[in-house]
Amino acid sequence: MKNREPWRIQIPFLSQLHFRWLPTTLYIAFLSLPFFPLVYLSFQSTLSRPSIPAGQFTWINYWNVFNNPLLTDSLLSSFAYVVLNIGISLIVAIPAAYAFSRFSFVGDKHLFFWFIAFRITPPIVFLLPIFQLFASFGLVNTPLAIALAHGLFNVPISIWVLESFMSAIPKEIDESAFVDGYSLPGFFMRIFLPMMAPGIGVAAFFCFMFSWVEVVFARILTITNGKPISMAISGLFGFRTDIGLVMAMSVLAVIPGALMIYFVRNHIAKGFTIEKRVS
């Protein structure tokens, strides 16, 4: 039988797609639009120079970043803050989350709720007490000060995230390990922590995101030196702003977050799947 509608073209790929992912694709493309001028301007000379006219493609902005001690120090300071904060937060949160998931004690539910309430409190509320406390111990202008200040907000969310994953692991695994002769530290290191890898990846991701973009504590606790990359970028704006230099610093600020998401993407995907199943 001949086709009575010759104008209708059957495309197998489009017929199977059903445009289910079209809204999501368009939304992601819309969110990605600011990155194109960001990268483009980072390779442009936005100020007239003796050897490079304005508007020319050049690497001079990245060259100026890595030859400016203040900008390179801000990159190193941000990495130091993030690494210290993730380490401190996980070291504190993992045992605490295990206690909440495996034991019952008086006030455990109220304490757990207090952790969440503390996390959603604006950081500026604790700014003055934290500054006075750290100044009395001589911690101002040190990476440890920023890491500890960020830990006040990252530890509660890490406990909340890790407790959900630990509750999904049956308690029979703990009992079987102890019957087999494992000590509590040995059980943690050899059995429990490998099973908790997705949850640890999600907690580390949240800690990284908070510490990398936080500005309030960084502005107050780094008076003279040790300023993070967010403060360095804001300091580049002035009467005669070099937009290309600002864009280059912004690109360098985005790259670590993109790499973090890429390397822990599998753990994040598994972690959110487990958390959704538990909830």
| 196-199 contacts at long range (C-beta below 8 A, 24 or more positions apart) | 196/94, 196/162, 196/165, 196/166, 196/169, 197/267, 198/165, 198/267, 198/268, 198/270, 198/271, 198/274, 199/161, 199/162, 199/164, 199/165, 199/166, 199/271, 199/274
Provide mean pLDDT across the span 171-198. 85
Q: Give the CATH H-level superfamily of domain 70-228+250-278.
A: MetI-like (1.10.3720.10)
Query: 232-272, pLDDT tens digit by residue?
Result: 888 888 777 888 888 999 899 888 888 887 777 776 666 55
Residue 191, Cα to own-chain centre: how many angstroms?
27
Mean pLDDT over 144-169 rounds to 86
What integer best gives the mean pLDDT of the chain? Answer: 80
* Nearest by Cα to 61 from 228, 231, 233: 233
Q: State the pTM of this model.
A: 0.78
CB 154 within 8 A of CB 211: yes
Beta bridge partners of 57: 44
Check if the beta carbon of residue 57 is closer than 8 Å to that of residue 44. Answer: yes
Q: What's the mean pLDDT in 207-215?
A: 84
* Residue 51 burial (10 A CB sphere; 0-12, 13-18, 19+): exposed
CB–CB of 246/237 below 8 Å? yes
For the chain, the domains span 70-228+250-278
Question: For 67-88, how does the pLDDT look when each residue is reduced to its tens digit (9 = 90+)?
Answer: 988 888 888 888 888 899 999 9
